[in-house]
Structure formats: C-alpha cells, structure tokens
A and B are shown apart, each in its own frame.
Chain A
C-alpha cells in the first residue's frame, strides 16, 4: 500500500483535470508506484470529478495500467510467435527459477513481477523482454541471469537501446 494523495494532485496540476488527462495521470501513478490501488483510483476520480467506476473501467482496459500488486520492476516477457520460437520458454523458466515466483506473481519483497505480454516490437532480436520501460533483447538464460542480478545489486544495466534504468 502506498500514499498517493500528493502525487495525484501533482499529476493533475501537470496534466490538467479534463477527461483526456486521465490516462497520463494513471500512467504517472504506475510509473512511480508500479500499479494502481483502489485508493489511488478513488483519489483520481475525486480530483477529476468523475466516478471511480469510470476510472476503474478505463484502467482495467489497459494491460500496462495494472490494478493488482506489482513489484518495483515489472518484467514483461514477450510471448508472441517469434519470441516464442526463439526461446521465450527458457527465459520464463530462468526467471521463475531465479525469482522463485511464477508468471503473474510478485516476489515477497515486492521487487520483481513476471508477466507475459504480446509483441513488443523487437522480433528481429528475439527473445525480448521489457523491465519497466527498458527493452532487453537477444536474450539467453545466461544473459537474463546477468541482467536480473544487476537489478538486484542495484548496478546499472544498460538496455538494448542504451537506456539506463530510471529507478
């Protein structure tokens, strides 16, 4: 559980309080707190003066606007055809063994979640994953271990495109 009041206000000041501000606000909360709590959605509803059902209804449509508990690092493993052909199953297995959780679960220290996702646009470098927004591609089980270890040890692990993790 996290405190969200100030953040919602901050985000509403930044993006405005019109209906089209809803998505950027929800995205901002997820960016900071990894998922949307009921409290957060009620707070957003109050700030934008719409019903909480509207907020929930919108959020639940979008897979990246998680409404169940997620860790600080959400690992999204691509399961679409090319990644699937090029070793996605081994990537999942490695992650599950290493983090001692299954797909869809979050580690008890709330650091990592593993989820599956559809094509993330790196098929020519399959298999590919996103950790929060950062892509890692052409993975092997060894490479996955290296990346996750880096995250655990708070090292900087540069993604395929050169981005460094933000948190």
Chain B
C-alpha cells in the first residue's frame, strides 16, 4: 500500500491531550458544542447515519433533569471490528466524547454497553476509566461513566433493545416513537452514540468543524474507520477519507480477483464487480458502519447468502412475525431453490417477502435482511440456483 490510491487519515487513533480538549469543550456552551457538530455534518458511525448534532440537539431540548449518554459498543455486525480496536487503543477518547456529549445534552451519567465477546478488554478499560474519572474531576467537571456487559445477542446493538438489556430484561426492541432522545434508558432522555462517533466528536472539538468538513463529500463528511476482511492480502483496520468508489477500494484492498464486496455487513449491500465503478461508499451510495468484506471468484455467493440468513434466523429476537417467520422462510426458500425442489422463479417470491419484511418488521434487523438478500440474489442469481 501507500500507492497513490486512497487517502489515509489519522483522526481516530491520533494521540491527543484529553485534558486540553475537554477543558476547551467545558468552556463552550451546550449550544456552542451542538452548533459545532451540526456544522461538521457528522453522521452517526453505527450504521444508521443520523446526524449527531441533531440527536444531541433533541436530547438537550428535553426538560427532564436526569439524562443519559450511552456509548454503543455492542459491535455485532459481521465483519465489524473497528470499535474493538478503538476501545483498545484510545478508550480515553471514547470517554472524552461521552463527557462532551454530556455537556451538550445536560447529562451527568454515561453508560458504555460492551458486547460480551469483548469481555477480555474490560479490566484494561476499567483501569483507563479510573484515570479518566480522576482527570475530569481535576478539571472540576462532574461526570461519571459505568459499564454494562452484553451476553451474546446481536440484537442488543439496536438502541432500544440495548436499553432493555441495560435495565435487566430480554433484549427486545421497543416501539418507536417515543425515540431515545425523549425516552431512552430507564425512560430518560438519552443520546446513544457509536464508539467511533464519540471519538469523532472529540476530534471535531479539537480541530474545529471547518477542518472536518474539508474531508469527505457533501453527504458523507469526514473520515471513517473501515474493518476490512475476506479475500484481501491486507485485512485489518484502516481510517480512510469518505467518498471513494468501491472500485477505488478494491484497487487498494482486492486480491486481483474480487468479484463482490459486501458493504455494511450481513445487513448491508452486496456490490458486484460490474457496479464497482459507479458505487460510492457512503450515504450517497452504499452506507456502512465500517464492515467491508471482499469475495473473490473462488467463493460461492450461495454460501455467503446462506451464512447471512443463518445468522439472521439465530439473531432475530422473534418478537414480531414478519421477521421471525420471514428469516426462516428466506433460508428455507433458498435451500429449496438450490436443491431444485421449487422453480427458480420462486426467488422472485422470496424477494417480495424480503420487501414485505422491510415494511412490516418492528426494528432495523428485520427491515434490513432484504438488503443483502436482494442484492445477492439479483446480482448472482445463477449461483443461487445452480
């Protein structure tokens, strides 16, 4: 690497003096911090891409005296591992982002929800948290963070399921509205942000919104940490400027034989070779929480799809029928097509089912199963059938 190629950025992992940035932030008004976030154009890095400044603005506007800032460190999307690296390397910047968010929305309490699979990190993270608490009390600011640990459930990354889990219940998503900004964890106004989003907010305070908007495109400002895996000579974690095409990405990370890239994990989109050139990675094209999986021509896209559907059958919380039954039917359906038990046109029925799930499912899990399903089936129909 290091070829002309993609522009590397070092914002997330860059060492900063947290005391300096936080002292600056705590001198700003709540409105001032929120304006900086709005000006930066930052959108959430957890997948959904909601503007962070707006989320903070809505939560700040709530009158309730007790509010929470929650850091979503559940990172369960297949192919995503950047939040683990961020917590491992720069947890103080995650805590810093939470304190800044706290100042902006008026919250004194933060909760980090860490997936159970990352429990090995906890002793180190707690130690770093202790130093952090000490540091902010030296600045004279009152803010406290606690950890909650998950126990192996992908759905707990969905914000309202995460709240249920924190409160000690089954991780079943709630109806929306009310949105978390009005009624989140413990029924209090809550801003829930992804690990990387929080680190980015700290860097926006440090460098200023104007500097941040120099990077990326109109719809996808800034840079982003990507988790690269699959058929690539250089798997790993890379921070890149937003706005590249899938082709540019493949030029850098492909093995010369890339036939498809799955952008955004099992709930994301499959981009086939013929669309590499015209597909932008970002909110104007295919969005991603960071998961980038490359597949070369030796891979069966049937196996890929089957693996994803298996994942959703297991991870659906089962609370609503379209998703619970839909996931099972999609899996059974592609198996039947493969075995030749039904005509290949049955795939069209299955795509209709996936579309129905998008409309009728209660949460983002059921709503996004169709993304991978449709894009894999449409682009690799022969591989699914034969």
A contacts, CB < 8 Å to B: 18-24, 26-27, 57-58, 61-65, 79-82, 84-85, 117-126, 130, 133-135, 159, 161, 163
Contact = CB atoms under 8 A, between A and B. Distances in A.
Closest 5 CB pairs of A and B: A62-B151, A124-B235, A64-B152, A123-B229, A63-B152
A63 B151 contact: yes
A122 B265 CA distance: 14
B132 interface: no
B315 interface: yes
Contacts of A120: 117
Nearest to A19: B168
A23 B293 contact: no
A35 to B, nearest CB: 12
Interface in B169-214: 169-172
Given A23-B151, A81-B293, A81-B304, A123 B165 contact: no
Nearest to A117: B152
A130 B311 CA distance: 18
Nearest to A59: B151
Interface in B60-89: 75-81, 84, 88
Contacts of B349: none
Interface residues of B, number: 50
B120 interface: yes
A81 B231 CA distance: 11
Given A23-B165, A80-B78, A121 B84 contact: yes
A134 B120 contact: yes
B49 interface: no
B149 interface: yes
B149 A23 contact: yes
B117 A82 contact: no
A64 B116 contact: yes
B158 to A, nearest CB: 13
Nearest to A62: B151
A124 B76 contact: no
A118 B299 CA distance: 20
Nearest to B83: A121
A119 B78 contact: yes
B154 interface: yes
Contacts of B77: 119
Contact of A19 (B79, B167, B237, B315): B167
B120 A82 contact: no
7 contacts: A18-B168, A84-B303, A119-B311, A123-B235, A124-B81, A124-B228, A161-B121
Interface in B140-171: 148-154, 165-171
Nearest to B115: A121
B79 A63 contact: no
B180 to A, nearest CB: 17
Contacts of B152: 62-65, 117
Contacts of B116: 27, 62, 64
B151 A121 contact: no
B170 A57 contact: yes
A85 B266 CA distance: 15
B227 interface: yes
B314 interface: yes
A65 B167 CA distance: 16
Given A119-B78, A121-B81, A124-B236, A133 B120 contact: yes
Nearest to B305: A81
B23 interface: no
Contacts of B78: 80-82, 118-119, 123
Contacts of B311: 80, 118-119
Contacts of A159: 120
Contacts of B237: 124
**B84, B168, B169, B293: which has the most chain A beta carbons within 10 Å?**
B168
A84 B151 CA distance: 22
Interface string B100-122: 00000000000000011111110
Contacts of B88: 161
Contacts of A117: 117, 152
Most B Cβ at <10 Å: residue of A82, A119, A122: A119
Interface string B318-352: 00000000000000000000000000000000000
